[in-house]
């Protein structure tokens, strides 16, 4: 893992005053100074008990629109999906592949063979086998949400080799296939529950959904599944997720003991840690400002690369990390960090330069540029970005949207740009999702022939040979102002002292892994 770099101490005086004023306002609101970034390592769980016991109540700041993993594209909602569902593959805290429902795998350019775990049953009693896995994969390919379908676009067919072995036939190499099978794309639903999965999830996970005691947007109840295949992971008798979309109310619920753990915004963690709460985190989130309308359908000026780059130069990333993320992040002008597959080491000069931003806008003949962006739960971040833009003569108007709909709104084609958070776990997924013609986060279906050709070539090559091409795509995406990178950061989960164990997974922001967690009641 890559620890955040400390913010630079070499600041110009105007920016320092700006940061201190904003920081003072935020500290007055949340009370307390920034705390040190906690360890990414999960706390040790208690020794195995005779059976599951205790109830853990988890506060979550967004809504669940569906319990069907093949229809869900928001990575944060894994906090609920992972209670019910197992994926074909898993990852450790550093992103290395480990077995899930598939114990072994063999990947070639033309196919992927999977050997499945035996003795697993769905919550409705249906056996999990190669036929069930095949049905899930074909369903996800044909009927999944756009990002899910996109990840399986090269899946031609699935052949059942025997009861617990199957082969995925591919039309081309798929560099991110294994990684994506650790998320929603690889989650297995009981085939008997396909039609009702939106409202009543049925998987093979440690806890089964309790529809009788659950109430939409109020609470979701999950009970220990007695036939779960790995009892050592299933230490809690019951898990209750409480959607609390207002952050102040969420914090109060933690303090009063109404909930035992919660996903919280970075600005609140210092005070909560000072009060004795435990922090769990993992470097798992990129903050980006994405120009969605890069052909100028809604905002004609965005068709000019100079205008898009002007916005990149206008952003003071170090101040953003200091204020919005309370220092728990790393300013960046590019996707990925050194050592990641696809990282670009090509020289880049997109750092804070408001004078250059003004010059580019003047060169493009753009004055009084104004546009709207969707806003929910990121008021501080958007206020900072809007302030940076105002300094170069650009007006950005945050417009409130319904809770938990930021990703859907950004992908809807109704906004020219958006401040969003990227959690793609492979560079190929990032490029396919946000840059290429059919990407779910390319709502205007913009085609850049040069970038499309680079990606097409990269898809045909072995990973080692393809890496320089993915790196070039990453570099060009930033240099053309398609994606304006701001920071690489560490979202937090907070737990009460009586909660033992837990972790936040790799590139799973705000998602607490409850497997193996115990609670003292």
Give the tens place of pLDDT for each residue, 416-459: 999 998 878 899 999 999 999 999 999 999 999 999 999 999 99
More confident residue, 2 or 52: 52
Structure confidence at residue 7 as a pLDDT band (50, 70, 90): very low
The first and second tokens of residue 272, run together, are 């909560």
Q: Is the pLDDT of residue 296 over 80?
A: yes
The first and second tokens of residue 57, run together, are 């109540």
So what's the pLDDT on residue 223? 99
**In the block, residue with structure tokens 């769905």:** 122
Q: Is the pLDDT of residue 33 over 80?
A: no
Q: What is the 3-state secondary structure (H, E, C) of 102-133?
A: EEEEEECCCEEEEEECCCCECCCCCECCHHHH
Domains and CATH numbers, the chain: 53-61+206-284+494-521 (3.40.190.10), 85-194 (3.40.190.10), 285-489 (3.10.105.10)
So what's the pLDDT on residue 245? 85
Q: Is the pLDDT of residue 47 over 50?
A: no
Structure confidence at residue 49 as a pLDDT band (50, 70, 90): low
The neighbouring-strand residues paired with 467 are none
- How far is it, in rounded angstroms, from Cα 421 to Cα 347? 24
Q: Is the pLDDT of residue 203 over 90?
A: yes
So what's the pLDDT on residue 360? 98
Mean of the pLDDT values across residues 510-520?
Answer: 93
The first and second tokens of residue 249, run together, are 């109310």
So what's the pLDDT on residue 404? 78
More confident residue, 265 or 467: 467
Structure confidence at residue 338 as a pLDDT band (50, 70, 90): confident
So what's the pLDDT on residue 48? 52
- How far is it, in rounded angstroms, from Cα 99 to Cα 105? 9
Number of Cβ within a 10 Å radius of residue 119:
9
pTM comes to: 0.82
Contacts of 349 (CB under 8 A, 6+ apart): none
Q: Is the pLDDT of residue 201 over 80?
A: yes
Q: Is the pLDDT of residue 46 over 50?
A: no
Mean of the pLDDT values across residues 76-84?
Answer: 94
Mean of the pLDDT values across residues 60-72?
Answer: 93
Highest mean pLDDT among 12-21, 325-334, 360-369, 374-383: 360-369
Using CA atoms, how far residue 172 sits from 145, 153, 241, 319, in Å, is: 21, 10, 40, 43
Mean of the pLDDT values across residues 236-260?
Answer: 95
Mean of the pLDDT values across residues 93-109?
Answer: 95
Closest by CA to 27, choosing from 361, 271, 235, is 271
Asked if 148 and 184 count as a contact pair (C-beta separation under 8 A), the reply is yes
Which of 149-153, 271-275, 386-390, 424-428 is least confident? 424-428
So what's the pLDDT on residue 105? 98
Contacts of 25 (CB under 8 A, 6+ apart): none
Q: Is the pLDDT of residue 362 over 90?
A: yes
Residue 466's H or E segment, with its range, is helix 463-479
So what's the pLDDT on residue 6? 31
Structure confidence at residue 19 as a pLDDT band (50, 70, 90): very low
Q: Is the pLDDT of residue 212 over 80?
A: yes
Whole-number percent of the chain with pLDDT over 70: 91
Mean of the pLDDT values across residues 378-387?
Answer: 92
Cα 341 off chain centre by: 18
For the chain, the average pLDDT equals 89
So what's the pLDDT on residue 11? 33
Whole-number percent of the chain with pLDDT over 90: 74
């Amino acid at each position: 893992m890559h620890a955040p770099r400390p913010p630079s101490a070499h600041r110009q005086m105007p920016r320092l005053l700006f940061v201190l004023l904003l920081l003072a306002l935020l500290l007055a609101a949340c009370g307390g100074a920034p705390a040190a970034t906690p360890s990414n390592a999960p706390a040790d769980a208690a020794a195995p008990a005779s059976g599951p016991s205790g109830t853990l109540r988890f506060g979550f700041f967004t809504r669940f629109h569906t319990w069907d993993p093949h229809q869900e594209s928001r990575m944060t909602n894994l906090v609920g999906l992972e209670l019910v569902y197992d994926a074909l593959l898993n990852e450790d805290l550093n992103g290395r592949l480990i077995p899930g429902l598939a114990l072994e795998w063999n990947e070639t350019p033309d196919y992927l063979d999977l050997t499945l775990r035996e003795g697993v049953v769905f919550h409705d009693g249906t056996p999990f086998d190669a036929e069930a896995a095949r049905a899930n994969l074909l369903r996800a390919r044909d009927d999944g949400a756009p990002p899910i379908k996109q990840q399986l676009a090269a899946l031609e067919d699935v052949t059942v080799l025997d009861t617990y072995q199957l082969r995925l036939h591919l039309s081309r190499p798929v560099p991110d296939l294994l990684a994506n099978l650790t998320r929603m794309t690889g989650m297995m639903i009981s085939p008997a529950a396909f039609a009702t999965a939106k409202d009543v999830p049925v998987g093979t996970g440690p806890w089964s959904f309790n529809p009788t005691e659950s109430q939409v947007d109020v609470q979701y109840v999950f009970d220990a599944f007695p036939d779960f295949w790995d009892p050592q992971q299933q230490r809690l008798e019951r898990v209750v997720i409480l959607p609390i979309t207002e952050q102040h109310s969420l914090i109060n619920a933690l303090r009063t003991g109404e909930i035992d753990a919660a996903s919280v915004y970075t600005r609140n963690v210092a005070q909560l840690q000072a009060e004795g709460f435990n922090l769990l985190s993992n470097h798992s989130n990129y903050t980006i400002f994405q120009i969605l309308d890069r052909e100028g359908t809604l905002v004609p000026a965005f068709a000019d690369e100079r205008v898009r780059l002007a916005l990149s130069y206008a952003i003071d990333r170090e101040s953003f990390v200091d204020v919005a993320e309370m220092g728990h992040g790393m300013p960046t002008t590019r996707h990925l960090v050194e050592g990641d597959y696809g990282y670009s080491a090509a020289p880049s000069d997109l750092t804070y330069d408001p004078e250059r931003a003004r010059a580019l806008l003047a060169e493009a003949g753009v004055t009084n540029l104004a546009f709207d962006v969707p806003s929910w739960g990121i008021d501080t971040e958007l206020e900072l970005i809007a302030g940076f833009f105002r300094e170069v003569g650009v007006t950005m108007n945050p417009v409130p949207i319904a809770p938990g709909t930021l990703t859907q709104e950004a992908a809807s084609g109704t906004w020219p740009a958006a401040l969003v958070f990227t959690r793609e776990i492979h560079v190929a997924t990032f490029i396919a999702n946000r840059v290429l013609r059919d990407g779910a986060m390319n709502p205007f279906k913009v085609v850049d022939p040069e970038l499309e050709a680079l990606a097409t070539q990269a898809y045909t090559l072995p990973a080692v040979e393809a890496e320089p091409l993915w790196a070039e795509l990453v570099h060009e995406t930033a240099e053309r102002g398609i994606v304006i990178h701001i920071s690489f950061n560490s979202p937090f989960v907070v737990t009460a002292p009586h909660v033992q164990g837990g972790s936040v997974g790799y590139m799973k922001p705000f998602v607490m892994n409850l497997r193996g967690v115990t609670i003292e009641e």
